[in-house]
Structure 1
Amino acid sequence: MTRPLWSEGIAEEGSYAATSAREPSSPSLPSPSLPSPSLPSPSLPSRADVVIVGAGYTGLWTAHYLLAAEPTLDVVLLEAGHAGFGASGRNGGWVSALWPVGPETLARGHGRAAAAAMLAELRNTVDEVGRAAASAGIDCGFHRGGTLGLARSTAQVERARAEVAHSDQWGIGTRWLDAQEASARLAADGVLGATYNPHCARVHPRRLVDGLAAEVRRQGARVVEGVRVEALGPGFARLADGRSVGATHVIRATEGFTPTLARHRRTVAPVYSLMVATEPLPARLWEQIGLAERETFADHRHVVIYGQRTVDDRLAFGGRGAPYHFASRVRPGFDHDARVFADLRATLTDLLPQLEGVRFTHAWGGPLGIARDWQPSVGHDPATGLGWAGGYVGDGVAASNLAGRTLADLVLGRATPITQLPWVGHRSRRWEPEPARWVGINAGLRLAHAADAEEARTGRPARLARLLSAVTGH
């Protein structure tokens, strides 16, 4: 099927995301489109062994591992847009062992050994993504260069060194780089040091999801695109047009789009993350900037930022500055915010003054899913056949692979080490009703900005950070 394209033009071959837009001179940017309702409805099977709602990384990895174990299974994936339409095709391309909550949180409920097992499996998952992609012949630019967390103020240095000390307690593998070592990897302005963790790889997310979709089709799965599921329950997935598909197992793999399902408005909060990308940079400029090992990078501010050197030598850079939208609304127009795009360009140029005069050619965005307690989860109820995974808080490129392997084992009734990990069967409480949800999430975003501004002004760790933790509960 032909991919929906941005109306400003097709992204160049090898560019960071096929769902990205070339930036026009106008401040308003076009949006990726869902299939037109005037098009004929795709044919739909009446029943399958396994129906997976959502054909992003979670759904596709689940289908891949199910069919690798049981090739005769009838597996159907239902996707409202095209495979990878959501976060899987638009993310920052970090295959990392990062987790949104600390190991102490996992240990409180499950013990230190279980928390350590979770961390170990996350590290293994980084390599598993590379192994699985290579085995399927998916050229997604997988390169395990680790990740850098720059420290550019004394307050950030304090947080960075605390992270290293915490890592030493749990064997996470994060170490401190002094200013010279950090600048040798990424010659950012004003660097006082950095954290470095080797358990992270860079990928081209669009290539990975396209390759994975092709692989599961080759394995025999049916990926039905352009069909929006309205509700799901034991034994069925019901479409917005009234049609239904019956199944022994129904898996919810909808991440940031989960609130569009009946009874799931408060399951996760869809929070938008936006990105920009430069034109391909010449070798002489890369010699000045660094990232020779294709390290991903961020810094230790409160408002999340993230970047990578892409397969075609662009800098792709994103952050979480966009607001949460009332009632967990998810709309194509929310993918673009001219103010946030301008802030991202300014932030990256502040980090890397070498980019002065470089053109920014692409901009895009989309929602990610956040559970109320910030804890991702995966599970399957054998009594009803219902399964789910998600709430990755932006760390889903690797976690979705672990989710897919776990769901495959759970659906097949196999007890394995990964089905015993502490995130399996976890149930987060629901988000607060509106308007409390809107007030709380956007207050948290404003506090994060204010905390960064306070640290820039005082040079000390922000007192507002304590209030930020109280508001977010994280």
Structure 2
Amino acid sequence: MLTRSPVNGHVSHWFDGLPISRGPLPGSRDADVCIVGAGYTGLWTAYYLKRADPSLRIVVLEARFAGYGASGRNGGWLSGLVPGDRERMARQYGRDGVVAWQQALNDAVDEVIDVAATEGIDAGIVKGGTLEVARNAAQAKRLASAMQAERAWQVDGVEWLTKDAASQRIQLDGMVAAYYNPHCARIQPAQLARGLADAVDRLGVVIYERTPVTEIAAGMARTPWGTVSAPVVLRATEGFTATLPGLKRRWLPMNSSMIATEPLPVEVWDRIGWEGRETLGDTAHGFFYAQRTVDNRIAIGGRSVPYRYGSRIDRDGRVPGRTIKNLTATLHSILPQVSGVPIAHGWCGVLAVPRDWEATVDFDQATGLGWAGGYVGHGVTATNLAGRTLTDLVLKRESDLTRLPWVGHESKTWEPEPLRWIGVRGMYLAYKAADWHEARGTKRTSPIAVIADKIAGRPH
């Protein structure tokens, strides 16, 4: 049971107490660049475009308020995680390009931190790295393979931790082993989104909130309040892309849910540790992700209801009670020390998943239409890289960024319903069965999960 109701339409705990103030589009107008979506992708693109060319008239249109989507509901991992499958991208575009992509993402972690400092954005940033943990033999085997892969992709600073070494950082129940990756920072995601919105305001970008876009075409974005005409129109709609005409099957809106506890007493933190504020995840197929928040809560998430039939979107982050119960059980299984701490908030949101699980950035010079997204849940840092890349593409600047392998990458569309719903639901039921099997002592990855990954085309 929640101790109180979330504010701001139940969107997420992260918006608790943050103001929502911008008005809607007052009528049709012209611009040089129109950006659809005021999440991280749209805001970063506006930021870098305006800094590169202050003369540009840039308008950002947002259906609700800045950060309303995944940008204000995510787990707060500012990490170098690649939004895709490195091996598959290497086969298609070459290994050197993927190594460069990985390095660019690692560098983007520091770029976000630097911009936040420059713009005075207090997003609770602590670059404590991330801990990936294993809680059984099969998970430990996958964990070792994952760490070897990080080193093979030239990710520096990755460190294997024995159970004892990992326990010095955080006291997790049932932990077998862990590895540490330094390329991650804990953030308060909504504060980053709202701070970015304020920063682009100061630069002279105009953001219209409460302005849903009903159609995007060459030279224009149509809304109920008027049309913005611009030679450049950029789509930054991520998990809400399926709501636009003609794009229902382009990217699948995958649902992810979170809960946050009440602030933990000092004596509970003394038993847990977690002084480094590392982000925390595991190698289960139905994985969790967590952080120690700025105000000393624990926020933890997972895929409880991964997909809604017909690519439907949640209603303002409202989350079923059974999801809160499941996430609470996960939290108590890894940290029984918090079993007496109430759960304060629960929420959910959607992220975009392309059919091949590979994100993309693209811009068509002929039509002036561009887009970025499909981050498969690894978008907090990738959006910054995408925004800088879109800036170079729009301004016709060839750069190391425009040569990265995700630029211009094309994915197939998802299957029509009911195949889409059956496939995704079947995949997560298979993962649940695989985790159950592995928890009972098998030393290798369950073949159920292997088959599910192959059918879904998911990285593994």
TM-score of the aligned structures, taking structure 1 as reference length: 0.91
- Decide whether the 8 Å contact of 1:274 with 1:335 is kept in 2: no
Match of 2:181 among 168, 187, 197: 197
Whether 1:459 aligns to 2:445 is no
Please state whether the residue corresponding to 1:420 is helix, strand or coil.
coil
> What does the per-residue CA deviation read over 1:357-398, in whole Å, with 9 as the maximum and x for residues that have no partner?
111111111111111100010111111110100000111100
Residue of structure 2 in register with 1:252 after alignment: 235
Q: TM-score, structure 2 length as denominator?
A: 0.94
> Unaligned stretches of 5+ in structure 1?
1-6, 21-33
For the residue of structure 2 that corresponds to 1:393, the secondary structure is coil
By how many angstroms is 1:42 displaced? Answer: 3.7
* Separation of aligned partners in 1, 2:50 and 2:136: 50
Percent identity between the two aligned chains: 47
Aligned to 2:218: 234
Q: 1:470 aligns with which of 430, 454, 458?
A: 454
Partner amino acid for 1:87? A
Structure 2 residue 133 is the aligned partner of structure 1 residue 150: yes
Number of residue-to-residue matches in the alignment: 449
Correspondence 1:180 to 2:164:
yes
In structure 2, distance between residues paired with 1:358 and 1:459: 33
Partner residue, 2:190 = 206
Of 258, 273, 279, 1:296 maps to 279
Give CA-to-partner distance per residue, 1:113-162, whole Å, 9 cap, x none.
Answer: 11110011010001111001111100001111010111110111111111
Give the alignment's Cα RMSD to 1 decimal: 2.0
Determine which of 279, 286, 309 is the counterpart of 2:269: 286
Alignment match of 1:392 (pick from 363, 367, 375): 375
Cα distance between partner residues in 2 of 1:236 and 1:42: 14
CA distance in 2, matches of 1:409, 1:100: 20
Structure 1 residue identity aligned to 2:149: H
Deviates most, 460-469 or 148-157: 460-469
Comparing 73-82 and 460-469, the one that deviates more: 460-469
The 5-angstrom pairing of residues 298-447 of structure 1 reads: 298-332=281-315, 335-447=318-430
For 1:358, give the aligned amino acid: V
Which portions of structure 1, spanning 4 or more consecutive aligned residues, are displaced by more than 6 angstroms?
none
- Cα distance between partner residues in 1 of 2:398 and 2:302: 38
The answer to which of 275-284 and 130-139 deviates more is: 275-284
**Residues 1:219 and 2:203 are matched in the alignment:** yes
Equivalent-residue separation in structure 1 for 2:422 and 2:271 (angstroms): 43
The answer on whether the counterparts of 1:272 and 1:324 sit within 8 Å (CA) in structure 2 is: yes
* Letter in structure 1 aligned against 2:422: V
Q: Take 1:44 and 1:426, find their aligned partners in 2: how far apart are those partners?
A: 35
Matched, 1:8 2:5: yes
1:16–1:204 CA contact under 8 A, matched in 2: no
1:91 to 74, 77, 90: 74
Which runs of no fewer than 5 residues in structure 2 stay unpaired?
none
Structure 1 residue 10 displacement after superposition: 3.9
Rounded Cα–Cα distance in structure 2 between residues aligned with 1:92 and 1:9: 16
Q: Is the 8 A contact 1:78 1:225 kept in 2?
A: yes
Residue 238 of structure 1 and its aligned partner are, at CA, apart by 1.2
- Mark the CA change 1:334 to 1:323 in structure 2 (over 3 Å): closer, same or farther: farther
Between the aligned partners of 1:185 and 1:105, the Cα distance in structure 2 is: 34
1:32-82: CA deviation from partner (whole Å, max 9, x where unpaired): xx99xxxx9640342100000000000000000001111111000000001
